[in-house]
Each structure stands twice: as C-alpha cells, then as structure tokens.
C-alpha cells in the first residue's frame, strides 16, 4: 500500500496549516504516522489520494449516516447549486429543515440554524445565561462540546487525545464559571449545585457520550439531571450534535424519553455540509435576537445548499426505517469483535449505542472519563495501523466513536470482523 502522495500532500500542508490540518484530530498524532489525504468517497467506501480503498467508520465524524455521496442528496444539491449558493436572506429551505427538526425534537419549539456544532453550543450557552441571568455552567469531564471558550475545560475528543483538556487562551476569569462533574455520577452534580446555589445557568451533557469514546448514560442518570434542573431552576442542555438523528430519529431524547430545555444539533442535519442548530422552549428561545436581548448571527446561517443536503438526509432517514437496520449492524459488529478479542485474551471493553461504538483497550467497564483513560492508547495505535493495512479506516484516536452507516453492507461487516481478527493477532504477536 503506497502512501506517497498522501505524504507529499502532508508535507505541503505542513507549510500552510498548523499541523498540516484544519482540525487537530485529523493529524493522526495519536497514531504517530502521517495522515491520509482523501480523494473521494462513495457509500461505505473512501479512497485516499494514492488510490487505496477503505471501509470507512469515520463517516466525517458522524454526518455520513446514509453513506457517502448518496445519489438523492447529490442530485438535490446539483439542482440547488444552479439556483445560487448563498443569499444572506431567508429562504423556504430553512423553514423546511426547521419543520423537520421540530417534528423530530418536540422540545425544540423554536430553532436557530448556524454553521457548526460549536456555534450551536456557544449560542445555546449564551441563551441559557441570558435567560437565567446566571453565569456558571456544569459540564462533564471528558465530554466535548466544540471549541467555544467556556467548553474547553476538561474537554474530550481531540482535547483528550492530545492531553490538553484545558486549552491555552481561555481566560481564567471565564474558565472559573465552568464547573466539571463526573459522567454517570449524580452526586458529583449535586455537590456542585449545593456549592453554587442559584448561580448555575445550565447543565450541558452529551446524553450518550461520544467524545471519551462511547459511554451510555446509566439508568437514572439523565432522569436525575432532569430532576436537579427542575428543582434548582437550571436549564438542561442536551448536546445532541452526535446523537441527534443517530441513536434514534429523535435522538437521545426519544430514546430515553427525557425532555431537554435546550438542544444542540449538528453533523447529520447538514448531510455533510456545514450546519448546526440550537433550540428549545419558546419562552427561552424568545430571548434570541431579533426577539430578545441575546445576540447571535451568521453570514451563512441557513445556507441553501446545506439546508438542501440536510432535508434530503432527514427525509431518507425517516423513510428508510433506518434505525432497526443501524442497530442490527452495530450489534453484529460489537458481538463478533468482542468474541474475537476474547479468543485472543485481549482486554477489550466495547460500548455502543445505535450506529456508534468504541473499542476501549482496557478491561472495563468504561462508565466515565477516568475509566476511559485506563485504555492502552499505544495498543490502540498499533491496532489502528494494522486495521489501515487491512483496508479499514477508523477514527485515529482511542477517545472517539466508530460510526456505522446505512451503506455498510453485510460483506463490509464481515470483512471488518476478519480485519479485527488479523489486527488482534498482529498486535499480540509483536508485543
């Protein structure tokens, strides 16, 4: 497998982009080899610039739930682009996408389109502070909510991968308003709430964590957060940028039957184009300009091409009865990969939710940031490299989720399981 062209593009990129990338986790730093430069993708497959083909479990970090370049999405975009790419004015398309989001998430009585998950979360935090008049927020160690200043405190995803969960450049005066609790530990939340009575604007949570690797909420955790928020006048903010339209059409709110006060969405709702959405109860969202005093704006918010890709994607997800299929594929992979690791005596803990899963190279259980961090990241790096040789493209970090799409075929799944088998043998033999 030649990677010559990837490496030459990487060297050129290093002269132009910090670390040669436009988002840190893509740099393969946790793996210790130059990143692949991608040429194209179709369905479950992705090709690098050297022509190597892979079965793709990154799926652009979640958006490509239908698979890459779905013909109906491509056709809709081709029609849309001929009408112009951006107007900076309202269009019927944003009303169409908003209607679909509201139908899927009844708690989102009013929604606002933005251009990324980060922008959605930053804006929702500002709304929570503006609505409650309180400054502090509670987040969970290891959860990642984009790179907004208030959220880069004990953050997950790339921040954990690089061991910089607290970013430089975030003023201490701001960071002190971000309190961190332990995922799946309601006592840690209650402790903070009693320490700062009447000062906490919201609790932000990934209702199924994806950025420490996948960690599902234990029974009673989300319900407990809802109860604390109701008792203390705190807003419950679900960051469903990953889980929205992934774990269920109505996200974790549908799956667990918990109503959030504010919700953030991203990834899938743009169908691969830049979209973020935040929204919630009408009386809260009425604080947002031009109705209220919380300002937020964006040149490309509601961009017609992004709206088009999002509408097509959601309509295909709704019509396809996608979720039983995704769940079946995910369970099949998890069960068979577990068997393979067990046969080889490799300590492995696999956590999964519909359409997403993580192989933690540790005994487990993995139920929070601390237990996730017991994973053997060197062993993961060797596993990643072996899987790449086998033609499987994985998220280049132990603390991310593998994403399954509707385009992954039974043949893809069986090939993936066989590749894991070979990779497990390889990492055992050269240890």
- Any idea which residues carry the catalytic annotation? 144, 239, 267
Measured from the CB atom, is 76 or 121 closer to ligand KE4? 121
Smallest separation (angstroms) from ligand KE4 to the CB of 276? 6
Smallest separation (angstroms) from ligand KE4 to the CB of 31? 15
Site string for ligand KE4, 200-219 (x = CB under 6 A): ------x---xx--------
Measured from the CB atom, is 117 or 272 closer to ligand KE4? 117
Interface residue with ligand KE4, options 9, 20, 25, 424 (CB under 6 A): 25
The CA distance from 367 to 205, in Å, is: 14
The verdict on 117 binding ligand KE4 (CB under 6 A) reads: yes
Smallest separation (angstroms) from ligand KE4 to the CB of 147? 7
Angle value at C-alpha 244, between 241 and 245, nearest 5 degrees: 135
Measured from the CB atom, is 400 or 421 closer to ligand KE4? 400
The verdict on 157 binding ligand KE4 (CB under 6 A) reads: yes
Non-local CB neighbours of 344 within 8 Å, separated by 6+ positions: 424, 425, 428
The verdict on 380 binding ligand KE4 (CB under 6 A) reads: no
Number of residues that bind ligand KE4 (CB under 6 A): 20
Interface residue with ligand KE4, options 3, 145, 246, 379 (CB under 6 A): 145
Non-local CB neighbours of 410 within 8 Å, separated by 6+ positions: none
Among the listed ranges 64-72, 213-221, 235-243, 382-390, the one in contact with ligand KE4 (CB under 6 A) is 235-243
The sign one gets for the Cα dihedral 66, 70, 71, 75 is positive
Which residue, judged by CB position, is nearest to ligand KE4 in the bound state? 117
Smallest separation (angstroms) from ligand KE4 to the CB of 77? 19
The verdict on 36 binding ligand KE4 (CB under 6 A) reads: no
Contact of 259 with 107, CB cutoff 8 Å: yes
φ, ψ (nearest 5 deg) of residue 288: -80, 135
Interface residue with ligand KE4, options 400, 402, 424, 427 (CB under 6 A): 400
Interface residue with ligand KE4, options 10, 54, 131, 144 (CB under 6 A): 144
Among the listed ranges 68-76, 91-99, 112-120, 316-324, the one in contact with ligand KE4 (CB under 6 A) is 112-120
Count other Cβ atoms within 10 Å, centred on residue 64: 27
Q: Which residue has the tokens 């497959």?
A: 45
Q: What order of strands is seen across the sheet that includes strand 402-403?
A: 349-353, 356-360, 402-403
The CA distance from 61 to 394, in Å, is: 10
The CA distance from 63 to 136, in Å, is: 31
The verdict on 229 binding ligand KE4 (CB under 6 A) reads: no
CA 268 to chain centre: 10
Measured from the CB atom, is 150 or 340 closer to ligand KE4? 150
Measured from the CB atom, is 118 or 385 closer to ligand KE4? 118
Measured from the CB atom, is 124 or 349 closer to ligand KE4? 124
Distances (CA, A) of 403 to 163, 214, 361: 23, 11, 18
The CA distance from 71 to 269, in Å, is: 17
The verdict on 23 binding ligand KE4 (CB under 6 A) reads: yes
314-339 as b/e: b if 16+ CB within 10 A = bebbeeeebbeebbebbebbbebbee
Smallest separation (angstroms) from ligand KE4 to the CB of 79? 26
390-414 as b/e: b if 16+ CB within 10 A = bebbbbbbbbbbbbbbbbbeeebbe
The verdict on 296 binding ligand KE4 (CB under 6 A) reads: no
Among the listed ranges 193-201, 234-242, 277-285, 342-350, the one in contact with ligand KE4 (CB under 6 A) is 234-242
Q: Which residues in 45-84 contact ligand KE4 (CB under 6 A)?
A: 61
Interface residue with ligand KE4, options 159, 179, 212, 241 (CB under 6 A): 241
CA 159 to chain centre: 14
The CA distance from 256 to 276, in Å, is: 22
Report DSSP state, residue 362.
S
The verdict on 195 binding ligand KE4 (CB under 6 A) reads: no
Distances (CA, A) of 12 to 18, 49, 50, 51, 98: 11, 14, 16, 19, 41
Applying CB under 6 A, the residues found at the interface with ligand KE4 are 23, 25, 61, 116-118, 121, 144-146, 157-158, 206, 210-211, 239, 241-242, 266, 400
């Amino acid at each position: 497998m030649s990677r010559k062209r990837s490496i030459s593009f990487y060297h050129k990129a290093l002269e132009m982009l910090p670390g040669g990338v436009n988002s840190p986790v893509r740099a393969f730093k946790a793996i210790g080899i130059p990143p692949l430069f991608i040429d194209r993708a179709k369905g479950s497959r992705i090709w690098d610039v050297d022509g190597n083909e892979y079965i793709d479990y990154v799926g652009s970090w979640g958006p490509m739930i239908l698979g890459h370049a779905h013909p109906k999405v491509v056709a809709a975009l081709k029609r849309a682009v001929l009408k112009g790419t951006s107007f900076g004015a309202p269009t019927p398309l944003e009303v169409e996408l908003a209607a679909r989001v509201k139908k899927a998430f009844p708690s989102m009585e009013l929604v606002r389109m933005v251009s990324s998950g980060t922008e959605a979360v930053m804006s929702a935090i500002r709304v929570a502070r503006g609505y409650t008049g309180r400054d502090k927020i509670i987040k969970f160690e290891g959860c990642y909510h984009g790179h907004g200043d208030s959220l880069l405190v004990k953050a997950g995803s790339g921040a954990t991968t690089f061991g910089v969960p607290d970013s430089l450049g975030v003023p201490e005066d701001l960071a002190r308003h971000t309190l961190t609790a332990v995922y799946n530990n309601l006592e840690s939340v209650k402790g903070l709430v009693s320490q700062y009575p009447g000062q906490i604007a919201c609790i932000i949570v990934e209702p199924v964590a994806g950025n420490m690797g996948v960690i599902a909420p234990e029974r009673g955790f989300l319900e407990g957060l809802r109860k604390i928020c109701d008792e203390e006048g705190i807003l419950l903010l679900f960051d469903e940028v990953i889980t929205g339209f992934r774990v269920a059409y109505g996200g974790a709110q549908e799956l667990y039957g918990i109503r959030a006060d504010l919700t953030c969405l991203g990834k899938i709702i743009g169908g691969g184009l830049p979209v973020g959405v935040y929204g919630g109860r009408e009386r809260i969202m009425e604080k947002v300009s031009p109705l209220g005093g919380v300002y937020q704006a964006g040149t490309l918010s509601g961009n017609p091409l992004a709206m088009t890709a999002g509408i097509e994607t959601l309509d295909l997800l709704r019509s396809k009865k996608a979720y039983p299929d995704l769940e079946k594929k995910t369970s099949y992979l998890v069960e068979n990969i577990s068997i393979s690791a067990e046969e080889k005596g490799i300590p492995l803990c696999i956590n999964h939710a519909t359409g997403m899963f993580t192989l933690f190279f540790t005994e487990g259980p993995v139920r929070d940031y601390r237990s996730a961090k017991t994973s053997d990241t060197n062993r993961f790096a060797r596993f990643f490299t072996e899987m790449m040789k086998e033609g499987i493209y994985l998220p280049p970090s132990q603390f991310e989720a593998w994403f399954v799409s509707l385009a992954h075929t039974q043949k893809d799944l069986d090939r993936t399981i066989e590749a894991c088998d070979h990779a497990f043998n390889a990492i055992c033999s050269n240890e």
